[in-house]
Amino acid sequence: MTEPVRGTRISVDVNGEIHERDVEARRLLVHFLRDDLDLTGTHVGCDTGNCGACTVIVDGVAVKSCMMLAVQADGASVETVEGLAGNGELHPLQQAFSSFHALQCGYCTPGMLMSAKHLLDNNPEPTEGEIRRAIQGNICRCTGYVNIVEAIAATARGEVSG
């Protein structure tokens, strides 16, 4: 009987930069980002896929990176919170989160921002209900979501510039 493959080399585009690494087959994408690439902006808040703190965008789809193996991201293009701002300018969502006090401890914020970005990328004029649905997979224990919803809505309305 042949030994099962326990690891492999993967190549992932993260925020426009190609990273090649040997990873264990069981390595979660979130641990690949945090521990192997040192992109610690993506957080872990649970062990059941409920909290959304680890949300990233993989090939245009919002994904909980604790629910995906690193090897499944081989060849994929991943966007994380570290890629949101460009040339020293905050992304409008980042600016809106600050302006509307949509974050307190900031632990859910990276995942929340990525879910919000995915929403606005696909639905530039969401209703409040659509906003709430888009972030229902992201738990925040600090804010009660009031200001998060407002920040996303204001961004969609073009009221905030980065």
For position 53 contacting other proteins by CB under 8 A, the verdict is yes
Residues within window 126-155 making contact with other proteins, judged by CB under 8 A:
131-133, 135-149
Closest residue by Cα to residue 59 from 13, 126, 18: 13
> What's the closest the beta carbon of residue 141 comes to other proteins, in angstroms?
5
Residues within window 59-118 making contact with other proteins, judged by CB under 8 A:
80-82, 84-85, 90, 94-95, 97-99, 101, 103-110, 113
Q: Where does residue 62 rank: exposed (0-12), middle (13-18), buried (19+ CB within 10 A)?
A: buried
For position 34 contacting other proteins by CB under 8 A, the verdict is yes
For position 25 contacting other proteins by CB under 8 A, the verdict is no
Closest residue by Cα to residue 101 from 40, 51, 136, 145: 145
The nearer residue to other proteins, 17 or 47, going by C-beta atoms, is 47
Closest residue by Cα to residue 15 from 33, 1, 3: 33
Report how far apart, in Å, the C-alpha atoms of 137 and of each of 54, 87, 111, 159 are: 11, 30, 10, 25
Residue ranges binding other proteins (CB under 8 A): 24, 26-27, 31, 34-35, 38-48, 50-51, 53, 80-82, 84-85, 90, 94-95, 97-99, 101, 103-110, 113, 131-133, 135-149
